[in-house]
C-alpha cells in the first residue's frame, strides 16, 4: 500500500464514516453498523501504519503534493503511530460498549458522527507535521468534545461543558497566538523545518523562543490537564454517559501530553535548562494533586477522573527527565494508560448499569454477584497502580530507572508515593464497590430502570474483555512494546530521522 | 522450575472452575500441586547438598533487565521445601476448615497463587523477578485477609496490610533499582560474585535503607508490625500459612540473601539487632496481654521474627545458623499451633483463652499436636526449637559487642515462649477443669492430621534438616567455614545453663499468668502506638485531601481561570525578566508619522466602544456594540490588504449578531450581578494578561523575519496552482487540509447545536 | 498603526478577560467572543502588516509584484475566524441552554456537579 | 420584522443574492471570494428569508421537493403518462377530475444533508488524486478554461464542498434557533 494512501486513511475513514452517518439520518442502527465498520477499518489502518513505521522507519506524505515547508506534510513516526493504534483499540471498545451502554436518543442524534469526527481529529493530531494544522485538528477534537460532553443536555453535563468550553477556548487562543509568534519569528509552520532552524541558529532568537514555548506549555498544558491548569477535567469528565466519557477520558488528555512531548523534543529545545526543572516540578505537583484529589472522592468516575491527572504527571515526568529511557517510559505509559483508563471507565459503566449508581456509598457486593467483573476491574486497577507484572509496572519501572540514572531522586520518590496512593484509591473502590455488602436502604431498584438482559450484559462485557486482553498482552508480552517505546523515544530525541523523512522525500 | 511455576499459575486460575465442577473435592487437585512441588524439591536435595546450584533463565524483558532467572541454592531450597511441604498440609487443612462456601474456589485460587508467588520469591535470582513475586504475595495476602469480605474489620485489616506492605514494596523497589544501578548487576548471584565493590558507592546506603524498609514491613518489624495482628481476620489456614510460616519470612529471606552485601556496614549491624530486639521484646510482652488465641500467636510470631532479624544482624557463623534453625523451628511449631487454634475455633466456636478448658480428653489428637509444637516452642530437648535456642545463646556469648542486648532479648522472649507454650498445651488440653467447654462437633481428620504431622516434624526435624541448614548457611555466608554439625556439644556449659534458666523463668511466668490482668487489648491502650498512628494518618490523609481539593477545585470557574492566567503571565514575565527582553520602542516612533487619520479614528472608535460595553447594562446595546467592534476589525483587515479576511469577518459578525439576537435577546430579564468584592483583583488579572500580550506582540514585531513561504506562494500560486488569489489558493490547495479540518469543525458545530437543542433525553440521563 | 495596534489588542484582551471573569453568563459569552477577536487580530498583526498591495496576482503578471501582503497569516486567520465562529456559535447555544436549565444567569450557581 | 415591504424585498432579493454568491464562489480562485465567502453570502440570504418569513416557509420554498405521480393506468401510453407527470410537477397543475389518485413524494433537504454532502465533496476532491497514486489532495485541472468561471479543477470542487457545507451549517443554526 502506498504511503500516500496509508497515511491519510486514518483521517479519511472516520470522515467518510461520519458523512455516511449524517446522510442516513436518524437511523441509529444503521449508524451503529457504519460506525463499527469504520472502527475496524481505522484499527486496521493504524496497525498497518505502526507495522510500517516499525519496519521501515519514519515516512511521510506531502498533502497536495506540495514540498514540505509550503504544503502540509503528514508524518508517521513510532510515537504517533503507537498513540494512534491504542486510540483505535479504545475506539473499537467504546463503540462496542455504546451498542448497549448508551441510550437510544443519544445514539439517534449525533453520537456516532461526533465520535467518528473526534477520532478524525485524533488521527490528524497524531500524524500532522505542521504546527498550524495541529492546531486545526485540536480544534476538531475540542468541538467534538464540547458536543459529546453536552450530548443529552442534563444539568450536570451543561455545567461541566460550560467550564470545559471556557477554559479550552482560552487555551486555543493561546495556541493560536503562539503559532502566530512562531510564524513571525521563523517564517515557517512546518515542524521539521522549524526543528532544523532552532537547532541551527536557535540561540539568536532563543529568548523569544522560550517565551513562545510558554504559550504552548500553557495551551497544551491546559489540554493535557497538568497541575495548575487541570481544573476543567474533574469538572466535566464525570458528567456525560460512560460511552462518551470513557473515550474522552481515556484518550483526549493523552493527545495533549503527546503534543507537549512532541513539541518539547522537536522545537523548544533551546532552553531546556529552564524548562526541564520547571516541567519536573509541574509533573510532581500534577501527580500529587491528582492523587490527593482522587483520595477525597466518593464517586467511582470522579476517582478515575482525578487519577487521569495524576497519571498525566507520570507522562510529563518522562519528558522532564529527558533521557531516552525515561521518555520511552512516558511513551509506554501513555499507551498503557489509554487502554487501562478506558477500561476502568467502562467497568464503572457496567457496574452502574447493573447496580444503578456510581456512588461508592450506594454500591456493594459486586464481588459476589459478578465475579467476572470483579476480576476485570481488579486487573485493570492493579495495572493502573503499577503492580508487577501488569502494564503500569513497566511504565513505572522505566520512569523510575530513568529518573535514578539521571539523578532525579526526588521525583522518583514522589512518583513511588503516588503509586502507593493510587493503590490506595483503587483498593478503596474495591473495598467499597466490590467487597462491601450493599447497603440495605439502597436495595430497591427504581422500577423504570431498564432491566439488563443476558445479551445486553454480554455486549457490555465484550469491550471490557477486549481491553482486558489488550492490557494483559502488553503486560505479559511487554518486550515488543517496550522496544517500540524505546525506538520511539530515540526518534523523538534524535530528530534527524524525522526531519529527513519530512524534507528529503 | 519455570514450568512448575507456570503450572502453578494455571492450576490457580483454574481453581474456581474446578470448584464449579468438583465441589468440595476441589482440594484434591490443589493438594496434588504442592505435593508435586515438594517432590521436585526433595529430588533436588542431593544435588544442592553437594554444592551444586540449579539455574534456569528465560528471557522476558531483556531491554529492562527483567528476566525470569531462577537459582536454587541451599537457602532457596530450604525455603522452597518449607513452602511446598507446608502447602500440602494447608491445602488438606483448608478442606476441613473452610467448609462449604460459594467462594471456596476463589479461596483456593488465592492460596495457590500465593504459594506459587512465595516459591517464586525464594527461587528468583533476578531482582525484579523477586520483586514481581513479592508484590504478588502482598496482593494475594490482601485478598485472603479480606476473604470474609462482608465484615468491615476484615476489609480494614486487608487494606491496612496491603498499604503497609505495599509501601514497603515500593521502598524495596527503589532500593533494588539503586542496588542494580550501583552494582551494575541485576542478579543476586552476579552481585555476590562481582558486585561486592558497591560498598564505596554513594548509593550503597540509600539502597540498603530502602531494602531494609521493604523487609521490615513485610516481616512485621517494629514499628510496622501492627498489620500482622489485624491480619488475623483472615481464615485460620491463611494465618497459619501466610502470616506465620511463609510470607512474613519473605523479609527474613531477603535480608539473609543480601546480608553478604550489606553486613559489613555499620548501620546494618546496628539497625537490625536493635529493630529486631525491640520487636522481639515488644511482641513477647504484648502476647501476654491478649486472650484471643490467634492474637497471642500473632504477637509471638512478631516476637520470633524480631529474634530472626536480630540474629541476621549479628551475622556471625553461629548467629546465621541459629537464625536458620530457629526459622524452620518457628515455622513448624507456629504453623501447628495456628492450625490447632483454628481447629479449636472450629469445634468450640470461640478463641478466647479463658473459655478454652479441659479439651484433652475429647480432642486428644489435637492436644497431642499442640503439645508437640509446644515442646519445640519452649525449646525443650530434643526438639528443633531446643537446637535453635542453644545456637542463639551461643551466638550471643561469642559476640561481645552485642552480648547484653542479645542475651536480654533472648531471655525475655524465651521466657514468654515457654509460658505461652505451657498455656497452649497444658492449660487448654491437659489441666483438669470443672467447667470444660462444650464441643459443637468433633474434629475431622482434615482438622487434626495436618497439625499433628507438622508437630511431629518439629520434634523430629533436627537430624533430617541439619545438612540442608548447613548448606543454606553457606549460601548466606560463603566465607564462613562451618563444621558438619549444627551444635558443638559442650556438656553442661553456660549455654545449657542459660537454656535451663529460661525454662525455669518461663515456668514461673506461667504460674503467674492467671494473675496478670488479662483483658482484650484495644488501640486505645496505645494512643501513640503505630496502629493508632496509622489510623490517624489514614483519616487525616482522607480529611486533609478533602479539604485541600475542595479549596482548590471549588467549582467556581472564575478561580480556575485566574489560576491559569496567572500561571501563564507569571511564567512569561519571568522569562521576560530573566532574559532581559527590552523593547526598543523609541526606534520605532517614526512609524507614527505614517499614521493615517482614519486609522486613528478607528482606534478611538473601538476603544470607546469597549468602554461603552463595560458600562452598559442593556443586553441589546451590548450586542450592537459587539457587532460594531467586529465590523471595525473587518475594517482593519481591509486597510492592510486582506479583503478575503475582511469579507469573512464581516459576514461572520453579521451571523453572530443574528444568532445572538435570536437566542439571547429575548430571554427574560435577570438580575444584574455586581462584581464588587473582588473587582480590583479581577481587573488586575485582566490588565496583567492584556499587558503581557501587548508586550509580547511589540517584542515579536521587532524580531520578525521575512518568510520563504510568502515568496514561494507569490511565485507558484498562479503558475503551479492556477489561481491568482493567493489566500484562496492557500486555502483550497496549498493548505487545503487546514480547510478540511476547519469545515469539519463547522460540521460538528452544526451537529452539536442540533443535538443540544433537540435532544430531550429521559430524566437523569443515566449511562 | 503597527505601534498602536498592539495596545488595542492588549485592551481587547484585558476587557475580554475581565468579562470572562465576571459571574454573569451573558458577560462570559461576550468575553469569549472578544477573546476570539483579540486572538484573531493578534495573529493578523504578528504576521506582519504591509501597507502594500493585496495578495492577489495581477491579470497582467504571472507572479506577484512586490510589495504584497503576506498571504499566509491571512489564510491562517481566515481558518481561525471560521473555526472561532463554529466554537462561538456552539458556546452561545450552550449558554442559552444553561440559562434555560438553571434558570439563572449567575455563573456561581454552577458549582454543584463537582 | 415581518412587514410586507421587508418580506417582499427579501423575496425579490434572495435569488439575486444566490446568484451573486455562486459568482463569488467561482471567481474566488482569482479574486477575493471563494467557498467560504460565497457560502456565507448565500446563507445570509436565507437567514434574512427566515427572519422575514419564518423557517417553515423557507424550508418549504427552497429546501423541499414535491414529486407528484400516479400509477399508470393501462389506457395511458408511456408518452402520455410521462407528459402528464411532467406537467403536474413543473407547472403544478393536476387534473383533479381524473379517475386515478395523485400521490406524491415529499423530499426535504435537511441542512445536515447539505453539511454531509459538502464534507463528502471536499473530501472526495482530495481522494481523486489518491486513485492516481498521487498524494492526497493533489490538484487536477481541466485543460481548458470555461467562460466567466475560469479554469476548473479539483480545488474548485473542494471550494464547492466548502460552499455547501457553510450553507448547510448556517441553515442548521438558523432553522433550529428560530424555532426556539
State mean pLDDT over B250-269.
87
Angle, alpha carbons A90-A94-A95 (nearest 5°):
115
Round the CA-based radius of gyration of chain B to a whole number and report it: 38
pLDDT of D7: 81
pLDDT of C9: 93
pLDDT in tens, B211-238: 999 999 999 998 888 899 888 888 988 9
Rounded to the nearest angstrom, the minimum Cα separation between D78 and chain A is: 34
User: In whole angstroms, what is the distance from residue B374 CA to residue B390 CA?
Assistant: 17
The set of residues, in sequence order, having a beta carbon less than 8 Å from that of C60 and lying 6+ positions away, is none
Share of chain B above pLDDT 90, in %: 23
CB contact under 8 A, D173 and C96: no
The set of residues, in sequence order, having a beta carbon less than 8 Å from that of A17 and lying 6+ positions away, is A34, A35, A37, A38, A112, A113, A116
User: In whole angstroms, what is the distance from residue B281 CA to residue B285 CA?
Assistant: 6
User: In whole angstroms, what is the distance from residue A59 CA to residue A50 CA?
Assistant: 11
Helix (H) or strand (E) holding C112: none
Helix (H) or strand (E) holding D108: strand D103-108
User: In whole angstroms, what is the distance from residue D123 CA to residue B169 CA?
Assistant: 55
User: In whole angstroms, what is the distance from residue B254 CA to residue B214 CA?
Assistant: 9
CB contact under 8 A, D113 and A22: yes
The set of residues, in sequence order, having a beta carbon less than 8 Å from that of A157 and lying 6+ positions away, is A149, A150, A151, A239, A240, B765
Neighbours of B450 (CB within 10 A): 28
Residues of A with CB under 8 A from a CB of C: 132, 136, 139, 142-143, 146-147, 150, 153, 155-156, 158-163, 165-166, 169-170, 172-173, 176-177, 179-181, 183-184, 189, 234-235, 238-239
Q: Which of D21, D27, D35, D36 to mutate to test the interface with B (most CBs of B within 10 A)?
A: D36
Helix axes of A242-266 and A300-321: crossing angle, nearest 10 degrees: 10
Alpha helix (H) ranges present in B290-402?
A: 293-314, 317-348, 364-378, 384-397
- Decide if A89 contacts A46 (C-beta within 8 A): no
- Decide if B362 contacts B439 (C-beta within 8 A): yes
- Which region among B351-360, B639-648, D55-64 has the lowest average model confidence (pLDDT)? B351-360
Strand positions, DSSP E, A222-323? none
For residue B423, which of B513, B300, B339, B301 has the smallest C-alpha distance? B513
Confidence of residue B767 (pLDDT cuts 50, 70, 90): very low
pLDDT of B766: 44
pLDDT in tens, B333-342: 888 889 988 8
β-pair partners for A60:
A75
Confidence of residue B595 (pLDDT cuts 50, 70, 90): confident
β-pair partners for B553:
none
Q: A445: which DSSP letter?
A: P
Q: Which chains touch D (3 or more CB pairs under 8 A)?
A: A, B, C
Is residue B239 predicted with pLDDT exceeding 80? yes
For residue B84, which of B34, B121, B122, B48 has the smallest C-alpha distance? B34
The set of residues, in sequence order, having a beta carbon less than 8 Å from that of A458 and lying 6+ positions away, is none
Three-state SS sequence of B423-481: HHHHHHHHCCCCCCCCCCCCCCHHHHHHHHHHHHHHHHHHHHHHHHHHHHHHHHCCCCC
Give the three cell numbers for residue B757. 437543542
Contact status of B754 with chain A (Cβ, < 8 Å): yes
pLDDT in tens, B395-409: 777 776 667 778 888
pLDDT of B757: 86
From chain D, pick out residues whose CB is under 8 angstroms from the CB of B737. 136-137
Helix (H) or strand (E) holding B27: helix B27-49
User: In whole angstroms, what is the distance from residue A465 CA to residue A469 CA?
Assistant: 6
- Decide if A130 contacts A267 (C-beta within 8 A): no
Coil/strand/helix, residue A73: strand
Distance of CA B661 to the CA centre of its chain: 59
D30, D36, D169 member nearest C78 (Cβ): D36
Rounded to the nearest angstrom, the minimum Cα separation between D155 and chain B is: 6
Distance of CA B473 to the CA centre of its chain: 31
From chain D, pick out residues whose CB is under 8 angstroms from the CB of A2. 133
Residue of chain D minimizing CA distance to A23 = D113
Region of B553 please: left (phi>0), alpha (psi -120 to 50) or beta: beta
Mean pLDDT by 10 residues, chain A (505 residues): 86 94 89 94 95 92 88 93 95 92 85 94 94 95 93 88 93 94 90 89 72 93 91 90 91 92 91 90 94 90 92 93 94 94 93 87 85 91 90 93 91 93 92 85 54 75 93 91 93 91 80
Rounded to the nearest angstrom, the minimum Cα separation between B90 and chain A is: 25
pLDDT of B764: 45
pLDDT in tens, B110-123: 999 999 999 999 99
State mean pLDDT over B458-472.
74
C-alpha separations of B38 from B42, B48, B84, B744, D34 in Å: 6, 15, 5, 67, 83
pLDDT of B152: 87
Rounded to the nearest angstrom, the minimum Cα separation between C66 and chain A is: 17
- Decide if B280 contacts B307 (C-beta within 8 A): yes
User: In whole angstroms, what is the distance from residue B588 CA to residue B609 CA?
Assistant: 28
C56, C82, C96 member nearest D31 (Cβ): C56
pLDDT in tens, B120-152: 999 999 989 999 999 999 999 999 998 888 888
pLDDT of B102: 81
Three-state SS sequence of B178-239: HHHHHHCCCEHHHHHHCHHHHHHCCCHHHHHHHHHHHHHHHCCCCCCCCHHHHHHHCCHHHH
β-pair partners for A62:
A73
B640, B714, B742 member nearest C83 (Cβ): B742
Region of A151 please: left (phi>0), alpha (psi -120 to 50) or beta: beta
DSSP of A206-270: HHHHHHHHHHHHHHHHHHHT-GGG-THHHHHTTSS-HHHHHHHHHHHHHHHHHHHHHHHHHT--T
Burial of A235 (0-12, 13-18, 19+ CB in 10 A): buried
Phi and psi dihedrals of B351, rounded to 5? Answer: -120, 10
Give the three cell numbers for residue B283. 511482641
How many helices (H) and strands (E) chain A has is answered by 21, 2
- Decide if A467 contacts B187 (C-beta within 8 A): no
Is residue B490 predicted with pLDDT exceeding 60? no
pTM for this structure?
0.93
Q: Which of B584, B693, B707, B732 to mutate to test the interface with C (most CBs of C within 10 A)?
A: B693
From chain D, pick out residues whose CB is under 8 angstroms from the CB of C78. 36
Alpha helix (H) ranges present in C23-70?
A: 25-46
The CATH number given to whatever domain includes residue C49 is 1.10.287
pLDDT of A394: 93
What mean pLDDT is reported for chain B? Answer: 84
Confidence of residue B761 (pLDDT cuts 50, 70, 90): low
Distance of CA B318 to the CA centre of its chain: 35
- Decide if A394 contacts A482 (C-beta within 8 A): yes
CB contact under 8 A, D135 and A64: yes
Give the three cell numbers for residue B54. 540449579
User: In whole angstroms, what is the distance from residue A353 CA to residue A351 CA?
Assistant: 5
Give the three cell numbers for residue A11. 483521517
Q: Which chains touch B (3 or more CB pairs under 8 A)?
A: A, C, D
Residue reference for cell 535480608: B255
- In terms of pLDDT, which residue wins out, B29 or B484? B29
Neighbours of A416 (CB within 10 A): 23
User: In whole angstroms, what is the distance from residue A493 CA to residue B2 CA?
Assistant: 38
Give the three cell numbers for residue B619. 443586553
Would you give the end-to-end CA distance of chain B in angstroms?
48
Confidence of residue B765 (pLDDT cuts 50, 70, 90): very low
Give the three cell numbers for residue B62. 531483556
Cα four-point dihedral sign D115, D121, D126, D128: positive
- Decide if B454 contacts B89 (C-beta within 8 A): yes
For residue C20, the enclosing domain spans 4-111
C-alpha separations of A55 from A51, A78, B236, B595 in Å: 6, 10, 56, 60
Q: Which chains touch A (3 or more CB pairs under 8 A)?
A: B, C, D
The set of residues, in sequence order, having a beta carbon less than 8 Å from that of A141 and lying 6+ positions away, is A118, A121, A122, A125, A252, A255
Confidence of residue B104 (pLDDT cuts 50, 70, 90): confident
- Decide if A129 contacts A73 (C-beta within 8 A): yes
Residue of chain C minimizing CA distance to B729 = C75
pLDDT in tens, C60-107: 888 888 778 888 999 999 999 999 999 999 999 998 888 888 887 777
* Range among A272-276, A365-369, B486-490, D98-102 rated most confident: A272-276
Confidence of residue B669 (pLDDT cuts 50, 70, 90): low
From chain A, pick out residues whose CB is under 8 angstroms from the CB of C48. 184
Coil/strand/helix, residue A69: coil
User: In whole angstroms, what is the distance from residue B206 CA to residue A32 CA?
Assistant: 57
Angle, alpha carbons D135-D141-D146 (nearest 5°):
160
Confidence of residue D41 (pLDDT cuts 50, 70, 90): very high
- Decide if B126 contacts B67 (C-beta within 8 A): yes
For residue B85, which of B48, B31, B7 has the smallest C-alpha distance? B31
- In terms of pLDDT, which residue wins out, B614 or C107? B614
CB contact under 8 A, C93 and D177: yes
ipTM of the complex: 0.94
CB contact under 8 A, B693 and C38: yes
Amino acid at each position: 500500500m502506498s504511503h500516500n494512501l496509508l497515511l491519510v486513511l486514518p483521517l479519511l475513514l472516520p470522515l467518510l464514516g461520519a458523512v455516511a452517518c449524517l446522510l442516513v439520518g436518524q437511523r441509529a442502527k444503521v449508524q451503529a453498523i457504519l460506525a463499527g465498520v469504520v472502527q475496524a477499518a481505522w484499527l486496521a489502518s493504524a496497525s498497518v501504519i505502526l507495522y510500517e513505521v516499525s519496519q521501515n522507519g519514519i515516512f511521510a506524505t506531502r498533502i497536495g503534493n506540495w514540498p514540505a515547508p509550503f504544503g502540509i506534510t503528514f508524518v508517521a513516526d513510532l510515537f504517533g503511530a503507537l498513540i494512534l493504534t491504542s486510540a483505535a483499540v479504545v475506539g473499537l471498545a467504546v463503540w462496542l460498549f455504546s451498542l448497549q451502554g448508551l441510550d437510544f436518543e443519544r445514539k439517534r442524534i449525533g453520537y456516532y458522527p461526533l465520535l467518528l469526527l473526534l477520532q478524525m481529529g485524533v488521527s490528524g493530531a497524531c500524524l500532522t507535521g505542521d504546527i498550524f494544522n495541529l492546531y486545526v485538528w485540536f480544534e476538531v477534537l475540542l468541538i467534538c468534545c464540547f458536543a459529546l460532553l453536552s450530548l443529552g443536555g442534563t444539568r450536570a453535563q451543561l455545567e461541566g461543558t460550560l467550564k470545559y468550553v471556557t477554559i479550552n477556548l482560552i487555551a486555543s487562543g493561546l495556541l493560536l497566538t503562539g503559532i502566530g509568534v512562531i510564524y513571525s519569528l521563523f517564517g515557517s509552520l512546518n515542524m521539521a523545518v522549524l526543528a532544523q532552524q532552532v537547532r541551527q541558529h536557535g540561540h539568536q532568537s532563543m529568548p523569544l523562543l522560550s517565551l513562545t514555548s510558554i504559550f504552548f506549555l500553557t495551551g497544551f498544558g491546559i489540554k493535557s490537564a497538568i497541575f495548575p491548569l487541570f481544573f476543567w477535567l474533574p469538572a466535566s469528565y464525570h458528567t456525560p454517559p460512560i460511552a462518551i466519557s470513557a473515550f474522552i477520558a481515556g484518550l483526549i488528555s493523552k493527545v495533549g501530553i503527546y503534543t507537549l512531548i512532541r513539541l518539547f523534543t522537536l522545537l523548544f529545545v533551546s532552553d531546556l535548562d529552564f524548562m526541564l526543572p520547571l516541567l519536573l516540578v509541574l509533573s510532581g505537583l500534577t501527580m500529587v494533586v491528582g492523587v490527593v484529589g482522587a483520595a477525597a472522592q466518593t464517586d467511582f468516575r470522579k476517582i478515575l477522573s482525578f487519577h487521569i491527572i495524576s497519571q498525566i504527571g507520570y507522562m510529563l515526568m518522562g519528558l522532564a527527565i529527558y533521557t531516552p529511557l525515561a521518555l520511552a517510559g512516558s511513551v509506554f505509559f501513555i499507551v498503557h494508560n489509554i487502554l487501562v483508563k478506558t477500561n476502568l471507565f467502562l467497568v464503572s459503566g457496567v457496574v452502574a448499569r447493573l447496580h444503578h449508581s456510581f456512588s461508592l456509598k450506594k454500591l456493594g457486593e459486586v464481588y459476589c454477584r459478578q465475579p467476572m467483573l470483579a476480576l476485570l476491574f481488579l486487573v485493570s486497577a492493579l495495572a493502573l497502580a503499577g503492580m508487577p507484572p501488569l502494564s503500569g509496572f513497566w511504565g513505572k519501572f522505566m520512569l523510575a530507572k530513568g529518573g535514578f540514572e539521571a539523578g532525579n531522586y526526588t521525583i522518583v520518590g514522589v512518583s513511588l508515593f503516588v503509586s502507593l496512593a493510587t493503590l490506595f484509591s483503587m483498593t478503596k473502590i474495591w473495598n467499597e464497590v466490590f467487597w462491601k455488602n450493599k447497603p440495605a436502604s439502597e436495595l430497591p431498584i427504581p422500577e423504570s430502570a431498564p432491566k439488563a438482559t443476558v445479551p445486553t450484559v454480554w455486549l457490555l462485557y465484550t469491550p471490557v474483555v477486549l481491553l482486558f486482553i489488550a492490557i494483559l498482552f502488553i503486560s505479559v508480552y511487554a518486550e515488543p512494546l517496550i522496544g517500540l517505546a524505546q525506538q520511539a523515544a530515540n526518534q523523538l530525541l534524535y530528530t534527524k530521522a524525522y526531519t529527513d523523512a519530512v524534507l528529503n522525500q | 522450575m519455570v514450568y512448575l511455576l507456570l503450572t502453578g499459575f494455571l492450576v490457580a486460575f483454574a481453581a474456581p472452575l474446578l470448584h464449579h465442577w468438583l465441589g468440595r473435592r476441589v482440594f484434591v487437585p490443589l493438594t496434588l500441586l504442592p505435593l508435586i512441588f515438594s517432590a521436585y524439591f526433595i529430588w533436588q536435595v542431593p544435588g544442592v547438598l553437594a554444592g551444586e546450584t540449579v539455574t534456569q533463565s528465560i528471557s522476558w524483558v531483556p531491554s529492562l533487565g527483567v528476566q525470569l532467572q531462577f537459582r536454587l541454592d541451599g537457602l532457596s531450597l530450604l525455603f522452597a521445601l518449607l513452602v511446598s511441604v507446608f502447602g500440602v498440609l494447608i491445602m488438606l487443612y483448608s478442606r476441613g476448615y473452610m467448609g462449604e462456601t460459594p467462594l471456596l474456589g476463589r479461596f483456593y485460587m488465592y492460596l495457590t497463587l500465593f504459594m506459587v508467588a512465595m516459591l517464586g520469591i525464594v527461587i528468583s535470582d533476578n531482582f525484579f523477578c523477586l520483586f514481581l513475586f513479592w508484590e504478588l504475595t502482598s496482593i494475594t495476602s490482601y485478598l485472603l485477609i479480606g476473604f470474609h469480605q462482608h465484615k468491615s474489620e476484615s476489609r480494614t485489616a486487608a487494606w491496612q496490610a496491603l498499604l503497609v506492605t505495599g509501601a514497603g514494596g515500593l521502598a524495596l523497589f527503589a532500593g533494588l533499582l539503586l542496588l542494580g544501578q550501583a552494582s551494575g548487576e541485576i542478579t543476586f548471584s552476579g552481585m555476590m560474585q562481582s558486585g561486592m565493590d558497591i560498598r564505596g558507592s554513594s548509593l550503597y546506603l540509600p539502597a540498603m535503607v530502602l531494602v531494609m524498609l521493604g523487609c521490615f514491613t513485610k516481616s512485621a518489624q517494629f514499628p510496622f508490625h501492627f498489620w500482622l495482628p489485624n491480619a488475623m481476620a483472615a481464615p485460620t489456614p491463611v494465618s497459619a500459612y501466610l502470616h506465620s510460616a511463609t510470607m512474613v519470612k519473605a523479609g527474613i529471606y531477603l535480608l539473609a540473601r543480601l546480608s553478604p552485601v550489606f553486613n559489613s556496614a555499620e548501620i546494618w549491624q546496628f539497625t537490625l539487632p536493635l529493630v529486631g530486639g525491640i520487636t522481639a521484646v515488644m511482641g513477647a510482652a504484648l502476647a501476654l496481654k491478649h486472650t484471643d488465641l490467634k492474637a497471642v500467636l500473632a504477637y509471638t510470631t512478631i516476637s520470633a521474627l524480631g529474634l530472626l532479624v536480630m540474629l541476621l544482624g549479628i551475622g556471625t557463623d553461629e548467629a546465621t545458623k541459629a537464625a536458620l534453625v530457629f526459622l524452620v523451628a518457628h515455622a513448624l511449631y507456629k504453623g501447628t499451633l495456628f492450625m490447632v487454634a483454628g481447629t479449636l475455633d472450629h469445634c468450640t466456636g470461640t478463641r478466647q483463652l479463658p473459655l478454652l478448658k479441659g479439651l484433652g480428653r475429647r480432642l486428644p489428637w489435637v492436644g497431642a499436636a499442640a503439645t508437640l509444637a509446644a515442646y519445640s516452642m519452649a525449646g525443650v530437648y530434643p526438639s528443633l526449637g531446643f537446637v535453635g535456642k542453644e545456637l542463639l545463646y551461643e551466638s550471643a556469648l561469642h559476640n561481645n559487642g552485642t552480648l547484653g542486648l542479645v542475651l536480654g532479648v533472648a531471655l525475655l522472649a524465651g521466657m514468654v515462649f515457654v509460658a505461652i507454650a505451657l498455656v497452649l498445651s497444658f492449660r487448654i488440653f491437659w489441666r483438669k477443669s470443672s467447667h470444660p467447654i462444650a464441643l459443637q462437633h468433633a474434629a475431622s481428620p482434615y482438622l487434626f492430621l495436618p497439625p499433628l504431622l507438622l508437630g511431629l516434624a518439629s520434634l523430629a526435624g533436627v537430624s533430617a534438616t541439619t545438612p540442608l541448614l548447613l548448606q543454606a548457611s553457606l549460601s548466606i555466608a560463603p566465607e564462613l567455614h562451618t563444621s558438619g554439625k549444627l551444635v558443638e556439644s559442650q556438656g553442661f556449659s553456660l549455654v545449657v545453663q542459660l537454656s535451663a534458666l529460661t525454662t525455669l523463668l518461663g515456668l514461673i511466668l506461667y504460674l503467674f499468668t492467671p494473675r496478670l490482668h488479662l483483658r482484650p487489648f484495644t488501640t486505645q491502650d496505645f494512643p501513640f502506638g503505630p496502629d493508632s498512628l496509622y489510623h490517624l494518618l489514614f483519616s487525616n490523609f482522607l480529611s486533609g485531601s478533602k479539604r485541600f481539593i475542595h479549596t482548590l477545585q471549588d467549582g467556581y470557574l472564575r478561580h480556575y481561570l485566574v489560576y491559569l492566567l496567572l500561571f501563564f503571565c507569571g511564567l512569561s514575565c519571568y522569562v521576560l525578566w530573566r532574559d532581559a527582553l527590552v523593547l526598543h520602542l523609541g526606534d520605532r516612533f517614526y512609524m507614527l508619522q505614517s499614521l493615517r487619520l482614519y486609522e486613528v479614528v478607528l482606534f478611538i472608535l473601538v476603544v470607546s466602544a469597549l468602554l461603552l460595553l463595560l458600562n452598559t447594562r442593556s443586553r441589546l446595546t451590548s450586542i450592537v456594540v459587539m457587532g460594531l467592534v467586529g465590523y471595525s476589525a473587518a475594517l482593519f483587515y481591509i486597510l492592510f490588504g486582506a479583503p478575503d479576511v475582511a469579507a469573512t469577518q464581516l459576514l461572520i459578525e453579521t451571523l453572530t449578531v443574528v444568532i445572538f439576537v435570536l437566542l439571547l435577546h429575548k430571554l427574560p430579564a435577570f438580575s444584574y450581578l455586581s462584581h464588587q468584592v473582588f473587582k480590583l483583583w479581577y481587573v488586575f488579572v485582566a490588565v496583567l494578561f492584556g499587558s503581557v500580550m501587548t508586550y509580547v506582540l511589540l517584542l515579536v514585531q521587532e524580531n520578525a523575519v521575512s518568510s520563504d513561504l510568502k515568496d514561494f506562494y507569490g511565485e507558484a500560486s498562479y503558475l503551479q496552482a492556477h489561481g491568482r488569489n493567493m489566500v484562496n489558493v492557500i486555502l483550497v490547495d496549498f493548505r487545503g487540509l487546514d480547510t478540511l479540518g476547519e469545515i469539519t469543525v463547522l460540521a460538528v458545530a452544526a451537529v452539536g447545536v442540533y443535538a443540544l437543542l433537540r435532544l430531550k433525553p429521559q430524566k437523569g440521563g443515566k449511562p | 498603526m503597527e505601534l498602536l495596534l498592539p495596545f488595542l489588542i492588549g485592551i481587547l484582551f484585558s476587557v475580554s478577560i475581565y468579562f470572562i471573569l465576571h459571574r454573569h453568563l451573558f458577560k462570559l459569552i461576550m468575553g469569549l467572543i472578544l477573546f476570539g477577536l483579540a486572538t484573531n487580530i493578534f495573529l493578523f498583526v504578528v504576521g506582519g502588516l504591509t501597507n502594500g498591495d493585496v495578495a492577489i496576482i495581477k491579470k497582467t503578471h504571472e507572479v506577484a509584484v512586490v510589495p504584497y501582503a503576506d498571504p499566509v497569516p491571512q489564510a491562517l486567520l481566515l481558518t481561525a475566524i471560521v473555526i472561532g465562529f463554529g466554537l462561538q456559535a456552539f458556546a452561545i447555544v450552550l449558554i442559552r441552554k444553561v440559562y434555560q436549565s438553571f434558570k439563572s444567569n449567575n455563573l456561581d450557581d454552577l458549582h454543584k456537579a463537582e | 420584522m415581518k412587514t410586507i415591504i421587508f418580506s417582499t424585498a427579501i423575496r425579490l432579493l434572495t435569488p439575486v443574492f444566490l446568484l451573486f454568491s455562486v459568482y463569488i464562489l467561482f471567481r474566488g480562485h482569482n479574486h477575493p471570494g471563494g467557498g467560504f465567502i460565497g457560502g456565507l453570502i448565500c446563507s445570509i440570504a436565507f437567514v434574512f428569508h427566515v427572519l422575514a418569513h419564518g423557517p417553515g416557509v423557507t424550508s418549504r420554498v427552497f429546501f423541499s421537493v414535491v414529486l407528484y405521480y400516479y400509477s399508470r393506468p393501462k389506457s395511458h401510453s408511456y408518452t402520455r403518462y410521462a407528459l402528464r407527470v411532467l406537467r403536474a410537477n413543473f407547472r403544478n397543475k393536476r387534473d383533479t377530475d381524473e379517475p386515478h389518485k395523485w400521490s406524491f413524494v415529499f423530499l426535504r433537504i435537511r441542512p445536515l444533508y447539505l453539511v454531509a454532502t459538502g464534507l463528502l465533496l471536499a473530501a472526495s476532491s482530495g481522494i481523486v488524486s489518491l486513485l492516481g497514486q498521487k498524494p492526497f489532495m493533489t490538484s487536477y485541472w481541466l485543460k481548458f478554461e470555461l467562460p466567466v468561471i475560469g479554469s476548473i479543477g479539483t480545488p474548485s470542487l473542494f471550494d464547492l464542498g466548502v460552499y455547501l457545507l457553510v450553507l448547510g451549517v448556517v441553515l442548521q443554526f438558523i432553522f433550529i434557533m428560530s424555532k426556539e
